[in-house]
Amino acid sequence: MGYLDLAVSCSNPTQTVETPASGGGLSQNGKFSYGYASSTGKRSSMEDFFETRIDGVDGQIVGLFGVFDGHGGARAAEYVKRHLFTNLITHPNFTSDTKSAISDAYNHTDSELLKSENSHNRDAGSTASTAILIGDRLIVANVGDSRAVISRGGNAIAVSRDHKPDQSDERERIENAGGFVMWAGTWRVGGILAVSRAFGDRLLKQYVVADPEIREEKIDESLEFLILASDGLWDVFSNEEAVAMVKEVEDPEESAKKLVGEAIKRGSADNITCVVVRFLETASSSHVSSSSSDEANLMMMPPVGDLKLSSSESKQVQTENVASREPGPASSEMNVNGLADESG
């Protein structure tokens, strides 16, 4: 969701929708696998970005996953995708106080994004829904209306909250800061923006903050998988429907592709991006592995997340991997550029 555009036209019902770009991988310690799928959908341009990254931090294997939904163009979402996780894992308190580090990284990334926006006349912003896997901890942080949902014991549980201007606490915060919320097709900050928290959005920054809401979940035998997705999916899927569909498909890449494809069939009018992470070991077995074995895994870290996509989208997607058997970050990423309409 993004800016109000009074000149937006309806999607062309005869428009051809490309096959989603997709890929996936397996963590070096065998504790989780992941898959992703992303499609422009029925929109004329792409504003969604995502990150799937495995890194070594202080001798631990860390999984970093994120979905970033831009508005007012793609540049804010691309900036957050490229800088947020790097800012996070280089934070001095990343392993000792991860939640505080996440909050600092979100706000620092927002501040640096705003500085980079000084030369642009057109305002832009982005949501972020991120998940950090470290040890037996799953830490989810969220700004905006991209969403994180887990399946625990077979039940769908939202582990993030969509930040909408009409929520009582969000509206109170905005009004206390001197702003207002009004109806313009949906509830919008200043009659313009349909989310109450976001990166960027320089002209509304006093009201639209990048302070993340953070939730931690224990990774144990009851935690089955995690879904991160932009609102292009959640516009046409309930949490329960998405979890039920992922349950049917063991491979996380195939389940992500199935979700995106079904969202298009159901008439989603937005870009659609989805990341699925499956947890493969119980907490008890996780404790058996020592930090020294994690370090050994890091020293043998293979390339992660080979991209599988249709030839029609091959020019739109690039995969960044570390050199084989060298320690360091590995990421598979969507990098789709181009100006987008602001209908959101």
Q: Tens of pLDDT along 265-276?
A: 999 999 999 999
Mean per-residue pLDDT for 26-50? 96
Per-residue pLDDT for 337 more than 60? no
Per-residue pLDDT for 295 more than 60? no
Domain range annotation of the chain: 21-158+214-334
Strands 32-39 and 48-57: unpaired
Separation of alpha carbons 218 and 132, rounded Å: 12
pLDDT at 281: 67
CA angle 147, 274, 199 (to 5 degrees): 50
Q: Tens of pLDDT along 135-163?
A: 999 999 999 999 999 999 999 999 999 99
Q: Tens of pLDDT along 97-122?
A: 999 999 999 999 999 999 998 877 78
Separation of alpha carbons 176 and 165, rounded Å: 13
Per-residue pLDDT for 333 more than 90? no
pLDDT at 336: 34
Mean per-residue pLDDT for 165-194? 97
Domain 21-158+214-334 in CATH 3.60.40.10? The answer is yes
Mean pLDDT of the chain: 83
